[in-house]
Amino acid sequence: MIRMTFVGIPGGGGLTSVLRCTWLGLLLAIAGSAQAKDCSVSRRFQVMQPQALSGVLKDPNGAVLPGIEIELLAGKKVVRQLRTSTAGTYDFEEIPSGKYRIRVQYGGGFFCAPDVECRMGGCSLKPILRLRQKPLPIE
């Protein structure tokens, strides 16, 4: 007969403690991966009729963000791609009706895609970009 003893595990060192520690580790790993979720792509939004999509992007302190590369996506296809001006402005011009998402491709990996708001008059991007919890690694 082989007897196994678990040493150094809080709570007595039995198999139950090992399972508890394993379960806790799994929960922490899941929680950590949820926080690290990629936020560079916005939620999908639907444009009901052709409309202009333009505005300005700012950081959480209200400073304009020049040189941020943003893309308009239809599915996985890039429909339009541009960089914000020195004044932080962007202009996708008129976009046809359809389902879209916005992706932030530039900005040092520090910013999430803008939130999108759709109302009766059309859709717009909220101007303030949220900071990522953890910047993307530089490639």
Model confidence pLDDT, tens digit, residues 106-117: 656 788 999 999
- Residue 21: CB partners within 8 Å, gap ≥ 6? 9, 10
Fold topology of 45-125: Immunoglobulin-like (2.60.40)
On whether the CB atoms of residues 79 and 95 are closer than 8 A, the answer is yes
Residue type, 88: G
pTM for this entry:
0.68
Instruction: Give CATH 2.60.40.10 domain extents, the chain.
Output: 45-125
What pLDDT sits at residue 72? 96
Measure the CA angle with vertex 30, ends 70 and 5; round to 5°.
Answer: 155
What pLDDT shows up at residue 109? 74
- How sure is the predictor about 133, in pLDDT bands with cuts at 50, 70 and 90? confident
* Statement: residue 38 has pLDDT above 60: yes
Average pLDDT value over all residues in the chain:
78
Instruction: Map tokens 């993307």 to a residue.
Output: 136
